[in-house]
Structure 1
Amino acid sequence: MSARDADGVEAAGTEGGGLPLASAAIARRAAPLRGQVVEELRRAIFEGRMGPGQRLVERDLIEALEVSRTTVREALRTLTAEGLVVEVPQKGSFVASPSREQIADLYAVRASLEHLVVERFVDRASDDDVAGLRRALDDYADAAGRADITDLVQAKDRFYGALTAGARSDVLSDLLESIQGRVRALRATSLSSPGRREASVAELRAVVGAVVERDGPRAAALCADHVEQAAAHVLGALED
């Protein structure tokens, strides 16, 4: 077993050829090439084709995706900003791999922040904000009924985007985004657990129901419970 360093990645990971990417090369579509590379790598991480601690060797990515070194480096910077990849000095880029203790701390901080964000949303959000939150929840529920885990994680991001927008707090928005970035891959793990998608939708429907009633304490408590359930599924998956 490889040792885990202080940055939360395995000191040794899979490297070399044969990267498990969905296609041998990025198709030349209308979308910017860097965005296509980011999307392919993001999907590979969310779907487990690139596992926690795996080293992302630039040369291998260039050959597998048939893109330039500049494009690969820009894509890795984007994924690092999202918290999916970590850059370790003198070692390179790795798929993020937090320890159990780090995961527990991340979700504890997330629960506290979301508790406060929901309270602020109830106090400050307009009726239009509430309507937008309900639409975002419906989109998330629709995504939960499909197989694509990447679409589901992105729909969850949009739900939180609507929530933080209505809370009208730049401070809370920035803090929550920094945490959300570090739990995106973990969220994919949680939502891949049997029955978790349906439970997640039900939990968030309860949160939004309390928000609609402008019951801040109840909505915040339900949101914190939702985060605790997600953490339990992630930590449980690590034991399997």
Structure 2
Amino acid sequence: MSIKSLQRTTLRDQCLNGLRSAITSGQLPAGHHLVETELSEAFGVSRGTLREAMRRLEQEGLLVAGPRGQLRVREINEGEIGHLYQVRAALEVLAARSLCQHADFPDRLETLRECLARLHAVEGNLGEQIEADLSFHRTLCELSGNSVLLSSWLALEGPVRVTIMHAGIERALNNMSSSRHDHLLEVLSQRDPAHIERVLVEHMDEAAQRLMQAMETQSAG
């Protein structure tokens, strides 16, 4: 494999982040069975360290165990994608509504602007754009001040990562484009709950439709 060996410092976290990135970017595609000997050599870590990272990713929903206990990258079907993005939209609508009620709304909005600036800065770099996109939406939920909402969103993050590359790089980059998020932030700044809900639901629906259409095309081929 071409995965780069890791530095010795904070080895467990680096292994976790490297493995997560390899899955999210499609280097380890959905359905791929993980071979410990290959991965430990590729990352330059012990099999014990690798197992710790794999257990964490199983908890996050990125990996699942087969009948014999061997871990593989989670696969998500078309129906699951639709449900996943419906729930994600509902959570983020609630987060946006809650955010608008805070007295320090301008300060919280500025934090989101900083997240958006990062997304602009890394656009075109697949790995960094994925992280910047997820950070924007995660921060929206954090800024709501609702810890239960945030926990629910974090439970979806692993499965969402699995879906990102289902539609291929071009569609993935389109879903995560800074221009789509510019519009979200502009609407959010208006503090109009009904408008925010409409735009956020459309944002998630468009992303889900691209993913599902790509799956249909792949199945037909």
Normalising by structure 1, what TM-score? Answer: 0.80
Aligned residue for 1:192, secondary structure, equals helix
Residue in structure 1 matching 2:60, options 82, 94, 103: 82
Question: Shift of the alpha carbon at 1:130?
Answer: 0.8
Question: Shift of the alpha carbon at 1:198?
Answer: 7.5
200 and 189 in structure 1: CA distance in 2 versus 1, 3 angstrom threshold: farther
Instruction: Judge conservation of contact 2:188–2:196 (CA < 8 Å) in 1.
Output: yes
Question: Which digits, 9 at most, give the CA deviation of each residue in 1:175-198, with x for residues without a partner?
Answer: 111112210131244582258437
Aligned residue for 2:30, secondary structure, equals coil
For residues 187-226 of structure 1, the aligned pairs below 5 Å read 187-189=164-166, 192-194=169-171, 196-197=173-174, 200-226=177-203
Question: Which digits, 9 at most, give the CA deviation of each residue in 1:39-65, with x for residues without a partner?
Answer: 332232233221111111223322333
Question: Which digits, 9 at most, give the CA deviation of each residue in 1:101-157, with x for residues without a partner?
Answer: 11121112112222222111122253211110111111112222x32x221111122
Aligned residue for 1:117, secondary structure, equals helix
Instruction: Judge conservation of contact 2:167–2:214 (CA < 8 Å) in 1.
Output: yes
Aligned residue for 1:97, secondary structure, equals coil
Q: Residues of 2 paired with 1:60 and 1:185: CA distance?
A: 21
Q: Residues of 1 paired with 2:85 and 2:49: CA distance?
A: 33
110 and 199 in structure 1: CA distance in 2 versus 1, 3 angstrom threshold: closer
1:229 aligns with 2:210: no
Question: Shift of the alpha carbon at 1:171?
Answer: 1.4
Larger RCO, structure (CA 8 Å, separation 6 or more) = 2
Point out the more displaced range, 84-93 or 188-197: 188-197
Instruction: Judge conservation of contact 1:55–1:92 (CA < 8 Å) in 2.
Output: yes
Normalising by structure 2, what TM-score? Answer: 0.86
Q: Hey, which bits of structure 1, 4+ residues long, moved more than 6 A?
A: none
Instruction: Judge conservation of contact 1:117–1:164 (CA < 8 Å) in 2.
Output: yes
Point out the more displaced range, 96-105 or 186-195: 186-195
1:175 aligns with 2:116: no
Aligned residue for 2:101, secondary structure, equals helix
Give 2:119's aligned residue: 140
What letter is aligned with 1:232? Q
Q: Percent identity?
A: 27
Aligned residue for 2:170, secondary structure, equals coil
180 and 47 in structure 1: CA distance in 2 versus 1, 3 angstrom threshold: closer
Give 2:18's aligned residue: 40
When the two structures are aligned, how many residues end up with a matched partner? Answer: 216
What letter is aligned with 1:45? I
For residues 1-240 of structure 1, the aligned pairs below 5 Å read 20-23=1-4, 26-29=5-8, 31-88=9-66, 90-124=68-102, 126-144=105-123, 146-147=124-125, 149-189=126-166, 192-194=169-171, 196-197=173-174, 200-238=177-215, 239-240=217-218
CA RMSD of aligned residues (A): 2.2
What letter is aligned with 2:192? D
